[in-house]
């Protein structure tokens, strides 16, 4: 399949546009604009009111004004390098234009004394006098029509001027073809959106400030196109995953009942509901792709293990994959008592398994003697063969995008797939990132978990904090001390963490303090973690490697140094490492004063709430989607127009619409389906296009 010919003009070289040479094209490339298509999707972010007014009197200054004037006297610069001045008079008052370093007779030619001119530019008061320095436009009265009443303002890069971008954008717009409509007719009518080409033209010619708002109909429509193309790609990925041979895994409930009977507490309503959703998916003939999203401490592990038991009850095996060895071992430790209660065989496989030991495990796995296997991505290496894998659980999803999910499917892992994330994600983002999946949310805390007391302390009170720690350690309590990743270079972080480790060791005594950071060998890191888990060390100094999944019930104090430079979600995750045992827990957010407004707002939110979903929504509105999950590593697309914070509702509509279109027209063969294919080419969703051609 190749790109439809109707789109060729938009995908030509940028230099084919009038007025764009090789040098300008290089500057555009720095803005991520490489073809006319990119330019039509680069919308103005502001609009300048250039409407003609009779006088500057009454204008809000400083501000942009457009006035017809009579040119008066020219006053040359008083000193070398000083400004030249030109007096002008409008209908009511006299004022001046100011020019620096003007060559030859340029000023005389532009502004001949006694003649009428239209000038437009930024007017300011300077020592009580109104001045316009270097007007943006100087026109003869008969050229007035050349100046738009509202001038679009485009994003620029050094070396590119507004006029160049405006001209190039206009040329690119001239190439936008008439395309068949891919949006559902009912939706289009209900929202009152223009057609695609009309929307583009309107978005590039804003007539007032309202036209550049995310809510303007033309912008809503173009944002929807982006979101719809993205959701269509996810829906195609979902369809191809589900097309893979699914198997109905129907649990008997016997093993699950044993585990539930052994628990000292009852499951929450959210846990019961999530498990029922998962079991229903596993019982169906199509493959499950579901996301289990839960806040810190909402009890995901139990739900995950009961889901694995459904696979075992149905006569198959289950696997749980974690991103790191530390986390895989932790899963093993937390699942072991549950596995013993159920009487199932649980084992672990990581990159550390070598030689005969590894061969034995692989043989047991292939025979079906190991019923539940935990591990790192080593689980899916070539030589690992399951006897009958029914459910694969992937933990901490943000390192594992749609592409990796497709890869597992391609490896012939035809098992149902459940993805777990401990990072509460706002709905719009979870749809953008996991739109190919169904979502189960754990939004209740199990009974008995005490809230963590959160306090803000300035860095000046360091000695006080150390004193507090000394007392806690004497009482047999354990604490984390998190050092920030200040620099991108790990070497610098390392010295920060190592220095803090030495200082605390000096203050609290030998053998009391451990250290974990990103540059340690895995075995060293595991040993330091093991000492802390076993209670041999009482204080663990760490860079953020402890963020996800670490479970040490006796740790009841969390100190986060330079808390103001962490993101909200990260702080919430770190705080969730304490408050897991019976003791009252505390989280101290140490900051370096003075606090900026945003940083203070972040720390205050943490003090007010421990609801991860509320924290995630706040984080999104404060930081924006790209920063929130680090677009590049999350597989989240970069949208040029859509704004995930302000247009969250559109994402949900796009998902429903995309799934419905594919359900009605799986091969995209109807006229609307064919239009949607053109949209996928236009939005460069090549992966989706490959999926249709395979399908």
d(CA 33, CA 25): 8
Q: At what angle do helices 217-243 and 402-410 cross, to 10 degrees?
A: 20
Residues 74-88 pLDDT 10s: 998 888 878 899 999
Strand extents, DSSP E, 145-295 = 150-153, 289-294
Q: Which of 174-183, 203-212, 267-276, 555-564 has the lowest mean pLDDT?
A: 203-212
Residues 172-201 pLDDT 10s: 999 999 999 999 999 999 999 999 999 999
pLDDT above 70 coverage of the chain, percent: 91
Confidence of residue 408 (pLDDT cuts 50, 70, 90): low
Longest dimension (CA), the chain: 100
Q: In the prediction, which pLDDT does 103 show? A: 79
Give 489-498 contacts, CB < 8 A, sequence gap 24+. Answer: 490/517, 490/518, 490/519, 491/519, 493/517, 493/518, 493/543, 494/519, 497/541, 497/542, 497/543
Residues 100-148 pLDDT 10s: 888 778 888 999 999 999 999 999 998 888 999 999 999 999 988 888 8
Q: Is the peptide bond before 62 cis (omega within 30 degrees of 0)?
A: yes
* H/E run at residue 580: none
Homologous superfamily of domain range 269-442: P-loop containing nucleotide triphosphate hydrolases (3.40.50.300)
Please report, for the chain, the start and end positions of each structural domain, with discontinuous segments joined by +.
5-47+155-213, 51-147, 269-442, 453-609
Residues 311-367 pLDDT 10s: 999 999 999 998 878 788 888 988 999 999 999 999 999 888 889 999 999 999 999
Q: In the prediction, which pLDDT does 635 show? A: 45
Higher pLDDT, 244 or 42: 42
Residue 157 clears pLDDT 90, i.e. is over it: no
Q: In the prediction, which pLDDT does 625 show? A: 46
Higher pLDDT, 449 or 196: 196
Q: Which of 15-29, 176-190, 263-277, 516-530 has the lowest mean pLDDT?
A: 516-530
Residues 459, 464, 467, 471, CA torsion sign: negative
The overall average pLDDT reported for the chain is 86
Confidence of residue 502 (pLDDT cuts 50, 70, 90): very high
Q: In the prediction, which pLDDT does 437 show? A: 84
Query: How many whole angstroms from its chain centre is CA 151?
Result: 32
Residue 439 clears pLDDT 80, i.e. is over it: yes
Confidence of residue 526 (pLDDT cuts 50, 70, 90): confident
Within 91-216, residue ranges assigned H as helices are 106-110, 162-173, 185-191, 196-204
d(CA 259, CA 518): 36
Give 252-257 contacts, CB < 8 A, sequence gap 24+. Answer: 252/313, 252/314, 253/313, 254/313, 255/309, 255/312, 255/313, 255/342, 255/343, 255/344, 256/306, 256/309, 256/310, 256/313, 256/342
Homologous superfamily of domain range 453-609: P-loop containing nucleotide triphosphate hydrolases (3.40.50.300)
Q: In the prediction, which pLDDT does 481 show? A: 94
Residue 636 clears pLDDT 70, i.e. is over it: no
Residue 675 clears pLDDT 70, i.e. is over it: yes
Q: In the prediction, which pLDDT does 402 show? A: 67
Confidence of residue 489 (pLDDT cuts 50, 70, 90): low
pLDDT above 90 coverage of the chain, percent: 49
* H/E run at residue 321: strand 317-321
Q: In the prediction, which pLDDT does 85 show? A: 92
Please give the class, per CATH, of domain 51-147: mainly beta
Q: In the prediction, which pLDDT does 428 show? A: 67
Q: In the prediction, which pLDDT does 400 show? A: 62
Tell me if 51-147 shares its fold with 269-442. Answer: no
Residues 1-54 pLDDT 10s: 788 999 999 999 999 998 899 999 999 998 889 999 999 999 998 888 899 999
């Amino acid at each position: 399949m190749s790109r439809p010919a109707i789109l060729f003009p938009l995908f030509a070289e940028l230099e084919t546009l009038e007025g764009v040479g090789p040098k300008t094209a290089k500057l555009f490339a720095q803005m991520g604009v490489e073809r006319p298509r990119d330019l039509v999707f680069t919308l103005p972010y502001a609009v300048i009111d250039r409407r003609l007014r009779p006088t500057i009197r009454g204008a809000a200054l400083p501000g942009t004004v457009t006035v017809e004037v009579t040119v008066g006297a020219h006053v040359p610069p008083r000193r070398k390098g000083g400004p030249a001045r030109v007096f002008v008079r409008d209908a009511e008052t006299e004022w001046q234009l100011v020019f620096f370093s003007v060559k030859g007779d340029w000023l005389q030619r532009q502004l001949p004394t006694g003649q009428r001119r239209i000038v437009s530019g930024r007017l300011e008061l300077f020592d009580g006098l109104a001045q316009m320095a270097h007007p943006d436009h100087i026109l003869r009265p008969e050229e007035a029509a050349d100046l738009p009443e509202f001038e679009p303002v485009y994003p620029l890069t050094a070396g590119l001027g507004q006029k160049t971008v405006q001209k190039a954008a206009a040329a690119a717009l001239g190439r936008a073809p008439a395309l068949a409509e891919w949006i559902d007719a009912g939706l289009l009518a209900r929202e009152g959106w223009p057609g695609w080409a009309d929307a583009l033209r309107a978005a590039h010619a804003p007539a007032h400030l309202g036209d550049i708002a995310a809510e303007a109909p033309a912008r809503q429509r173009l944002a929807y196109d982006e979101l719809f193309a993205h959701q269509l790609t996810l829906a195609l990925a979902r369809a191809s995953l589900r097309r893979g041979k699914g198997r109905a895994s129907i649990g008997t409930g016997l093993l699950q009942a044993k585990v539930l009977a052994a628990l000292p507490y009852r499951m929450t309503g959210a846990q019961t509901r999530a498990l029922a959703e998962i079991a229903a998916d596993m019982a169906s003939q199509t493959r499950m792709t579901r996301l289990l999203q839960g806040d810190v401490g909402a009890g995901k592990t139990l739900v995950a293990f009961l889901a694995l038991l459904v696979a075992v009850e149905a006569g198959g095996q289950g696997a749980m994959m974690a991103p790191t060895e530390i986390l895989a071992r932790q899963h093993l430790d937390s699942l072991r008592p549950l596995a013993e209660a159920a009487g199932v065989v649980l084992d672990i496989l990581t990159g550390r398994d070598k030689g005969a030991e590894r061969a034995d495990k692989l043989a047991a796995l292939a025979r079906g003697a190991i019923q539940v296997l935990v591990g790192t991505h080593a689980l899916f290496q070539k030589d690992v063969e399951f006897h009958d894998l029914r459910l694969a659980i992937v933990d901490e999803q943000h390192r594992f995008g749609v592409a990796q999910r497709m890869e597992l499917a391609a490896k012939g892992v035809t098992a149902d797939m459940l993805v777990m994330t401990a990072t509460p994600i706002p709905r719009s983002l979870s749809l953008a990132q996991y739109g190919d999946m169904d979502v189960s949310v754990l939004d209740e805390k199990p009974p008995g978990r005490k809230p963590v007391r959160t306090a803000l302390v300035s860095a000046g009170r360091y000695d006080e904090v150390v004193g507090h720690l000394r007392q806690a350690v004497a009482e047999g309590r354990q604490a984390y001390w998190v050092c920030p990743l200040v620099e991108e270079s790990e070497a610098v972080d390392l010295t920060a963490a190592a220095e803090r480790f030495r200082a605390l060791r000096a203050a609290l005594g030998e053998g009391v303090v451990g250290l974990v950071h990103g540059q340690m060998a895995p075995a060293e890191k595991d040993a330091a973690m093991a000492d802390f888990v076993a209670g041999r060390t009482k204080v663990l100094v760490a860079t953020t490697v402890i963020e996800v999944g670490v479970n040490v019930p006796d740790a009841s104090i969390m100190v986060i140094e330079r808390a103001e430079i962490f993101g909200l979600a990260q702080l919430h995750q770190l705080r969730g490492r304490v408050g897991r045992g019976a003791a009252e827990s505390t989280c101290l957010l140490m900051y370096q004063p003075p606090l900026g407004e945003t940083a203070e707002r972040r720390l205050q939110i943490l003090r007010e709430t421990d609801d991860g979903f509320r924290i995630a929504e706040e984080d999104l509105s404060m930081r924006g989607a790209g920063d929130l999950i680090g677009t590049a590593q999350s597989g989240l697309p970069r949208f040029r127009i859509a704004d995930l914070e302000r247009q969250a509702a559109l994402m949900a509509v796009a998902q429903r619409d995309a799934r419905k279109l594919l359900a009605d027209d799986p091969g995209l063969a109807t006229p609307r389906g064919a239009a949607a294919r053109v949209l996928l080419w236009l939005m460069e969703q090549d992966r989706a296009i490959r999926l249709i051609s395979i399908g």
